[in-house]
Structures are given as structure tokens and as C-alpha cells.
Chains A and B, each alone.
Chain A
Amino acid sequence: MDLTHSAEQLELGAVARSLFTRECPTSLVRRLREPGSDGLAPTLWQALASAGIFGIPFEEKYGGAGAGQYELGLVFEQAGRALCPTIVYSTMVFGLGVARLGGDQLKSRYLPDLVEGRLRASHATWNPSNAADLRPRLSALRVADGWLLSGRLLFVQNAQAVDVLMVTARTSVHREPQRTYGFLIQPGGAGWLARALMTIAHDQQSEVVLSDYFVADDAVLTGPDGTGLAEGDLAWLANSAIALQCMEMVGGTAAVIEQTVAYTKVREQFGRPIGSFQAVQHLVADMRIALDAARLTATQAAWWTGRGEIANRAVAIAKMKCNEAYKWATLNCHQLQGGMGYVLDTDLHLWSSRAKLTELQGGTTDTAALWLERESGLI
């Protein structure tokens, strides 16, 4: 037991932090929110690739650093501070999915490219409103050399900008039991229809409708013995994604608190910095208390999922704590920054919008509490 970071972990966090500070300024964040933006950030992307960030969790034989998924969480925390574009997250979660669910052939096809920064990707293998709901939204019909996918997916991140998307579908084959298979599909082409969704965070999310969309056999994840993906593996992937998102939320929470504290030290009313008022300090202290709860539970969830565990309990608790910490930190920071923090010209709203989005993404506090109740045998 040791809840402190090693020198290497601290170093990684510091490197990631300065990289995002340099390559992901809010001017970039704003540009990516503009209508019509594709959500790509080529310069940042290149910098991440050069720094070896994309390879962190993957095996060395696919070009990765084999450094561990927990270390990726440390990077997500710094990414969250800087409001890193979501395509970085969706690509990494796709990679984790391929690494866990794919055979050697698919791993060799995708992971080296991903590690080198040549692949952008996303995923839709759980209910975006409830990460514990793994029921596929698509159906797969057997045809010669492949499958036809049909159905509707909501809130697919970066669907229209990526090279490849991991989805799950329920197979229906005559005289065979229904199975859940994974499919690695290229956006676009016959049977693909996507509509951009307008969210509070202006992030890149789409509704995707597939109608008899063809996928060849060599892009199908059939599970260890061909009888379908194991529910446990899909649950692990969803939980890993939530744990990483919680790390992102921790970074965002810390960032808004620090920015706001800095503001209260220079903003004067009644002849003194507003930060000197006890009421202001108490709000700051409450945000810090919530941040620590979020940070500890998020790092715990990232650590256990990083070790390959499903970690339902740790993930549920992290989501509950991070949802509320991030959201209320942004709202309380609006309170402390007053009019100045409330206009589009200043940056706070960029985090406030992201906080609300991430709160709802994967599961609200109530939803995550249900995961915990189930895990505890209460229901």
C-alpha cells in the first residue's frame, strides 16, 4: 500500500502537463468548438505521437512502451486540465479495446499505426448514458465473407472524423445462439448515415445509423473461441474508459479551482482581494475537499482497471465523486469569478460545459450509484 506516485510517474505527469500547456491552449479548444470543425488537432496530435504518449499502455511488440494503463490515466488527468480534444481519448480507448479483445492479427493491423499517431479511432460498445449497459444496439446478419450491420447508435464520439470505429452487434444466424461480436468498421460508405449532435460542450458526437452496412470477416472480433465476446471483457473496457474519463475530470476540476483561486487573489472589491473573504475561502476549501475525494477514487479506479480488473465498485465510486466534484467546482468558480467569468471571451465556460457533458457521459451520479448498489448486493 502506497498512495504516492513514483518518481517516474511524477515525471510523466510533469511532461504531459507541459506538453498540453504548450500544444493545447484554449485558443485550440475554442477553434475545435466552432461549427463545422472536424475536431482534429494535427499539431497537438503530432506532438503526442512524438512524445510517445499513444504507445504508453501497449505492448512493446506492437511498438508500445508497455508502461501500463495507469500511466495513461496520469496523462488523461493532464489532458483534462487542458480540455484536450476528445479524439485523443476515443482513440486510446479503441486501442485498449483492440488490445484486450483482438487476436494477434488485428492488434498488428491497428496498434502500431495507433502508437505512431497514424490512426484515429473511436468506439461504441456500451450505452453512452450507462456504461454498465453492454447490450449491443446493432444487429449483425450473416452473409458471404462477412456481416451486415443494422441499427442506430447515439452519441458516438468523433464518428465522422476517425479512421476506424469499434462497435458491437448481436449476431443472428439460423440455428445458432445469438452472440455479441465486435466489428471494426470504417465510417462512411454504403449503409452509413451520420448526423452531428449539438451538445453543451460543442464536442464531436454523432448519431450513426447503419443499414445493411457490410463488414468483412477479417474485421470481426469473435471472442476467444469464436462464440462471442466475453461480457467481462466488454465490462472491463467500459470501466477502463470510465476510469480514464474520471482522471480527465479530476484534471479539469483541479484546473478550474487553481485558475479561480488565482483570480480571487488579484480581483479586489471593498479594498481587498475577494480571496481574503472567509466565505470565498470556504467555497474554495469545499471544492478542494470534493477534488480530493474525486482524485483518490479516480486514481484507485484507474489503477484497478489498469491491472485488468473489472473493478465495478471502484469505478462506480469514482464516477459518483468525479461527476459532482467537477460540476460543482465549475459552478462555484462561476460564483467566485462573477461577471468576468461568465462571458464567452473568458475561458471558464469551456470547462463548465465539459464538466456537464462528462457528468452525463457514461452515467450520472444516480446511475453510478445503481452500479454500486448492485455491486453491494443492495439490489
Chain B
Amino acid sequence: MNFELDAAQSVWRDEVRAFLRENVTPELLAEVGEHRTTLLGGEVAAFRKKIGAKGWFGLNWPAEFGGMGLGPIYQHILMDEFEYWGVQGPDLTVTSVAPMIMRHGTQQNREQFLPPIARGEVRYAVGYSEPNAGTDLASLKTRAELDGEEWVINGSKIWNSQAHVATHEWLCVRTDPEAPKHRGISVIIVPIDTPGVEVRPLITWADYRTNETFFTDVRVPRTNLIGQLNEGWQYITGALSLERGALTNAGDFRRHVDELKELVRLPLEDGTRPVDNAEVRRAIAQLDADVEAAVLMGLEAASLLEIGEMPTITVTVAKVFTSELRQRIADVGTRIFGLAGALSTADPAAPAAGRYEKLYRNAPLMRFGAGTNEVLRDVIAQRGYTMPRLGR
């Protein structure tokens, strides 16, 4: 047990911090905040290039694939710092898609798909959910049928985030409709510009754009199938997604609490300061304590991975806890400034430039997305304590 970073880890954290201090500019943050941007402009692209130059897109890739092969604690430190600064670091393409190709892909898959990812030339949208396959993902119906040397794909995906800016689709499809539902699923890579792919916008309450994507007789080469036929469910729900879960931590939460501590000292419209109210101080202290617990959950998951254990329960506990904590942070952040807390990002007088009003609209997603909390609570009880299951 050791609650301190060791010397090498501190050096690493300082390096990441120095990079962010230098490169996270107000212009970049402004562009990041503009979720509706259909094509990301210069700032984000330039920032991504700098991350690429550091080699950090391959932070979790083994050295044999040209990655840095960083251990979980190091990855955790990097992700945590990026979140603290409010910018996206290595995205799903490099932390999730690429490792799945490395672990489960054929030799040809690896040679074909990994180098462009390493070079930062491609970006993947993750196409799992469908209108009737949300929490019950395994009931997905988008169909892929082999026709000679090509897959022919028909169906649709919903909540297909990034599809409007992505080059490729990491697509979950049904390849055997006769098999039990978890056994007939495969993963196929589809270039977004393939004829028959149509991306339509869906705008969320948080102004964030996601998409509905339609596939009509879309043809891709047979070799775009990842790994083995009908093994897709194992790939997308396996160890990797757990490892990735362990990387999601509470860096942005720490930032919010630090920021709130400063903001409450400033006088409000009527001359009073929120910090002079005991209940405001208490609310922030509560958040502070909860964020500490969330940070430790993330570090425990990373530590378990470091010693070769799968942190199933830790990650599940952390997901439920952090998603609900996010909602509480947003709630506190919108209510300690009086009615001014209702001012949105569009109003120049909004406290904290409307960040908490925005967070309030953002927060519901994490509670039902990526495994809804109701099901995850079942998981904690049933797998954490082997309690009997009612069956779903």
C-alpha cells in the first residue's frame, strides 16, 4: 500500500502537466465547448497533432505496435490530467478500438488498420446501440451477410457519436440470426464514405451532437471482419472494456471542486458571498469528500490491473458512483449562486461562464449510458456478493 506517487510517476505527471499548461489555450477550450461543430476546426486538430508527436496516442499500446506500453497507473495519471484540463486526450479510437484490433484481430486486420490509427489519420465512431438495442445491446439487428468476397450491411445505429466527424465505423453487426443472441454478433470496420452510409444528426439536451446512421446495402471487403466470425460479443464486452473503464476517472471532478472553492469567495449580485453560508461550505465539503472517494476508486482499479487482476467490481462501483456524483456536482454548481445559476453559457453574466448549467444538462447521459446504473447495481450485488439473480 502506498498513497504516494513514486519518483518516476511524479516526473511523468509533471511532464503531462507541463504539456497541458503550455498547450491548453482559451481558444482550444472555446472550440472544445462548441459541441455542435460539424467539423472540428484548427485548434483541436493542432492540439491532437501535438499529442501525436508526444507519442501519447499509443500510450497503452504494446511496444511491438509502436506504442509506449504504459502501465495502468501511468495511463491513469495521464487521463486524469487531461480531464482536469477539460480536453480530450487519447480518444476511443486509440484506447479502445486499436487495442481490440491488437488483441483479437487477424494478422491482416492489424497490418491494415493499425498503422493509420498510429499516424492519427483516422477516427472511429463506435456503432453499438440501435433503436431497439440499448441496455439490451445483444439484441442488435443490423445485419451483415456475406456475398462472395464482400459483406453486405443493412440496418441502422443510433447514438452513433462522432460519426459526422469520423472516417470509420467500428460496427457491431449480426452475422448469425439463428444463433443465441450473444453468439451471432461480429465486428466489422466500415469506412464512413462507403456508398449506402447515411449520417443524420441528433442533438441532445446538452447541445451535444450525436447521430443516427443508416446502412443500406453497404458493401465492404470480407477482410474488414475483425477477428473471428460471431465472436464479436466477447470482444466488445471482454477484459478490454474493463481496462478502459479503469481509465475513466475523476480528473474533471477535481477541477470542478477546486473551481467552486474559488468561485464561492466572489461576491454575488446582492453583495453577499456564497462562502459565508454554512450550507454552501458544507455542500462543497461533501463534494470534495465524494470526489476524493471517486479518485481513489479509479486508482484502485488501475492498481489492480497493475498486479494483473481484473477490477470488475471496482470499475462497476466507480461508474455508478461517479455518474451520480457528476449529477450532484452539477446540481450544487447551479444552486449556490442563487437564480444566476440558471444563466446559460449563452449569457455573459453566467457564473463560471455557464459551465455548471451545461454540466447539469450533460450529467444525465453518464447515468444511463455505457451500462445503465440499474443494471450495474444488479452486477454489484450479484457478482460482488453472489446474490441470486431474478433473471432478465
**Co-assembled chains A and B:** yes
Please list the residues of chain A having a beta carbon within 8 angstroms of any beta carbon in chain B: 127-130, 133, 154-155, 197-201, 207, 268-271, 274, 277-280, 283, 327, 331, 334-335, 338-339, 342-345, 349, 352-353, 356-357, 359-361, 364-367, 369
24 contacts between A and B (CB under 8 A): A127-B270, A128-B339, A129-B268, A133-B270, A154-B269, A154-B339, A199-B347, A200-B344, A200-B357, A280-B374, A334-B368, A335-B368, A335-B373, A343-B202, A343-B203, A344-B203, A345-B202, A345-B203, A353-B205, A356-B334, A360-B335, A366-B279, A366-B280, A366-B335
Q: How many A-B residue pairs have CB under 8 A?
A: 117
B372 contacts chain A at the CB level, 8 A cutoff: yes
Please list the residues of chain B having a beta carbon within 8 angstroms of any beta carbon in chain A: 129, 132, 134-136, 139, 158-159, 202-205, 268-270, 277, 279-280, 283, 327, 331, 334-335, 338-344, 346-347, 349-350, 357, 360-361, 364-365, 367-369, 372-374, 377-378, 390, 392
B343 is contacted by which of A197, A268, A349 (Cβ under 8 Å)?
A: A197
Nearest opposing residue in chain A for B270, CB measure: A127
Shortest CB distance A89–B (Å): 15
B136 is contacted by which of A200, A270, A283, A366 (Cβ under 8 Å)?
A: A270
A360 is contacted by which of B339, B378, B392 (Cβ under 8 Å)?
A: B339
Known: A269-B136, A356-B360. A279 touches B377 (CB 8 A): yes
Known: A335-B373, A345-B202. A197 touches B270 (CB 8 A): no
Known: A197-B349, A200-B361, A366-B335. A360 touches B341 (CB 8 A): yes
Asked whether B203 lies within 8 Å of A360 as measured between CB atoms, the reply is no
Asked whether B335 lies within 8 Å of A339 as measured between CB atoms, the reply is no
Asked whether B205 lies within 8 Å of A352 as measured between CB atoms, the reply is yes
Q: How far apart sit A343 and B158, CA to CA, in the bound complex (Å)?
A: 12
Q: How far apart sit A25 and B265, CA to CA, in the bound complex (Å)?
A: 43
Contacts of B372 on A, CB cut-off 8 Å? 335, 338
Asked whether B158 lies within 8 Å of A339 as measured between CB atoms, the reply is yes
Shortest CB distance A278–B (Å): 8
Contacts of B390 on A, CB cut-off 8 Å? 278
Q: How far apart sit A347 and B374, CA to CA, in the bound complex (Å)?
A: 23
Shortest CB distance A343–B (Å): 5
Contacts of A200 on B, CB cut-off 8 Å? 334, 342-344, 357, 360-361
Q: How far apart sit A356 and B347, CA to CA, in the bound complex (Å)?
A: 17
Asked whether B344 lies within 8 Å of A369 as measured between CB atoms, the reply is no
Known: A198-B347, A335-B367, A342-B365. A130 touches B338 (CB 8 A): yes
| Closest 5 pairs between A and B when the two form their complex, measured CB to CB | A129-B338, A334-B364, A198-B347, A279-B374, A269-B136
Asked whether A342 lies within 8 Å of B374 as measured between CB atoms, the reply is no
Nearest opposing residue in chain A for B363, CB measure: A331
Known: A197-B347, A280-B374. A342 touches B205 (CB 8 A): yes
Nearest opposing residue in chain A for B390, CB measure: A278
